[in-house]
Amino acid sequence: MPLVRIDIKRHPDPTHLRTLGQIVYACLRRTINVPEHDNFQVLTEHDGDRLVFDPQYLGIKRSDGQVFIQITLSEGRTLEQKKALYQAIAEGFEREAGVRPQDVFINLVEVRKENWSFGNGIAQYAL
């Protein structure tokens, strides 16, 4: 049920953004029990002046390798699960894609289950 959006500055490696998406999906499966095949992502590269961020907000030194991740998902995950997700993504990005943990910005947007339609004009999760 998550919808993942990942935004980065245009990268010279054409596979980089897809790799980031694969890492996020694996982390979602491992930390918050997202089902197999529940993988919906919007992956976007931008010209340099289209991503705006403060290079030192909250004392975190960000670089041009900044990655924005927004995950919309159904409400109900615990604080511990969310923290585990954030950590797993940052560690996975560093280990598998060379992205500094300081450059990983994650925003979770929690919605009620009836706010999803996966196709056919039906609210599949509505009770």
Residue 37 contacts residue 1 (beta carbons within 8 Å): no
Q: Specify the pLDDT at position 126.
A: 87
CATH number of 3-115: 3.30.429.10, 3.30.460.10, 3.90.650.10, 1.20.58.760?
A: 3.30.429.10
Query: What DSSP state is assigned to residue 91?
Result: H
Which structure tokens are listed for 93?
């990005």
Q: Specify the pLDDT at position 48.
A: 80
Q: What is the three-class DSSP state of 78?
A: coil
- In 3D, which of 4, 19, 29, 8 has the Cα closest to residue 93? 19
Residues of the chain where predicted confidence (pLDDT) is lower than 50: none
For 35, half-sphere exposure in the C-beta direction (CA atoms, 13 angstrom radius) is 4
Residue 102 contacts residue 61 (beta carbons within 8 Å): yes
Each domain of the chain, given as residue ranges in start order, spans 3-115
Q: Specify the pLDDT at position 69.
A: 98
pTM (two decimals) = 0.94
Residue 25 contacts residue 39 (beta carbons within 8 Å): yes
Q: Specify the pLDDT at position 6.
A: 98
State how far the Cα of 25 lies from the Cα of 31, in Å rounded to an integer. Answer: 10
